[in-house]
Amino acid sequence: MIHIAYKLKTSDLHGIGLFANEPVKKGQLVYTASPLLDLNITQEQFDGLAEKERDEILWWGFFDQPSKMWHVDFDVSKFINHSYHATVSQDEAHDEACLVATRDIQPGEELTQNYLEFETQEDLERRGIIN
């Protein structure tokens, strides 16, 4: 669940992006996982899906190594694009997925995360992500 005011709009990074619609302070909570808006499935469940369903999870989600679960967000957080100079990052103080601002973010700035926090470089290349 996103905890700040936001807008979805065209991104210079990739398709559609999630943009702050209010000032965000460094360290401010931006996102937390929601059991009602997120999907977590086991590898066995993933393997039992149709190919098109697996492809959706591979595109929009990721395999969370610590929990050994496939995770997909079904809220607007899935529009947080990748950047090596991310504006949000995982907060290791939380067991569940939780993003905080890495620096002050101005209204109109795109929210980005370094996907290497949860994927490999090979995963990024497979999906055509080069930023």
pLDDT (tens digit, 9 = 90+) per residue, 75-105? Answer: 888 899 889 999 999 887 776 778 999 999 9
53: in domain: yes
82: in domain: yes
Helices (H) and strands (E) in the chain, counts: 3, 10
Q: Which domain holds residue 34?
A: 6-126
Q: How far apart (Å, rounded) are the C-alpha atoms in residues 63 and 78? A: 14
Structure tokens at 43: 């590898």
Which DSSP category does 76 fall into?
A: G
**Among 17-21, 33-37, 69-73, 106-110, which is the least confidently predicted range?**
33-37
70: in domain: yes
Yes or no: say if 30 and 18 are a contact pair by the CB < 8 Å rule: no
pLDDT for 117 equals 85
pLDDT (tens digit, 9 = 90+) per residue, 37-66? Answer: 788 899 999 999 999 999 988 888 888 777
Tell me the pTM.
0.79
131: in domain: no
Q: What's the number of domains the chain is made of?
A: 1
1: in domain: no
